Amino acid sequence: MSKKLIVIFFLTILTGCGKAQNNSKSNLPATEFSKKLDMTPDAQLVDVRTPGEFRNGHLKNAMNIDWNADDFSEKAKALDKDRPVFVYCMSGPRSTSAAAKLQEMGFKNVYEMKGGMMKWRNAGLPEIKGSTSKGMSLAQYNEILKSETPVLVDFYAEWCAPCKKMEPYLHKMAAEMPDKVKIVRINTDENTELCKELNVSALPVLKLYKNNKLIWDNLGFASEEQVKKQVSEINN
């Protein structure tokens, strides 16, 4: 290989590295995200949840650009690519996708909140409260657990894909096994205070109780077979 070709080769590598370094994406825990946001006067804060979720409560000065909407990219073009962008959703997946898209679009500095609003609320950080009710109280929740039949509590959200996948078989179990288990589904978006008190900061979550005592606590997708096995064991 000639010296000229070697020089061109290394210049190409250096140029490519330089371009890669121009754009950065960071995934920050809620408290660090808050501190970084406060230290960035020219920050652009984007809530990528649905308008309904946004109305229920959001970060101060946040603008709402729904990741699941068809016009996300079009609306994102209104942002300044040279200014830092901070993005968050409810639990993380949507903001991860949105942050990657923004970086792909050429935004130089993108900061994503790890764990989303669920972690933010769990940390007791401030937000602009929505006008909706706080939902079920902890006292009401504890009252449900006093049932003589084992109680399976399903914490879910409409935007949660694994939750939607589990929903059909949970409805089926509720209809087919009323003497074996009482299934209670709690929408986390409508019960933010309860979720905070119970430390529910990611989804989906299943909690199985017997005689007011927590027997099984599951975070993440669970198959119908797994859930039925737990219910069967608790009834033996």
pLDDT tens digits for 122-171?
A: 999 999 987 655 689 999 999 999 999 999 999 999 889 999 999 999 99
What CATH number is attached to the domain comprising 95? 3.40.250.10
Same domain, 115 and 172: no
For residues 200 and 183, what is the distance between their CA atoms, to the nearest angstrom? 18
Instruction: Answer left, alpha or beta for residue 212, where phi above 0 means left and psi between -120 and 50 means alpha.
Output: left
For residues 173 and 224, what is the distance between their CA atoms, to the nearest angstrom? 9
Q: Which of 17, 89, 160, 195 is catalytic?
A: 160
Same domain, 27 and 118: yes
Question: Which two structure tokens, joined as six digits, stand for 107?
Answer: 């935004």
pTM flag (> 0.85): no
Same domain, 59 and 156: no
In a domain, 16, yes or no: no
Q: Which of 17, 89, 163, 195 is catalytic?
A: 163
Question: pLDDT tens digit string along 170-217?
Answer: 999 999 999 999 999 999 988 988 998 999 989 999 999 999 999 999
Could you tell me which residues are beta bridge partners of residue 151? 182, 209
Helix or strand run (H / E) with residue 48: none
Helix or strand run (H / E) with residue 153: strand 151-156
Same domain, 25 and 125: yes
What are the counts of helices (DSSP H) followed by strands (DSSP E) for the chain? 10, 11
Show the CA angle centred on residue 113, arms to residues 94 and 141, nearest 5°. 80
Whether 163 is catalytic is: yes
The residue range of the domain holding 174 is 138-234
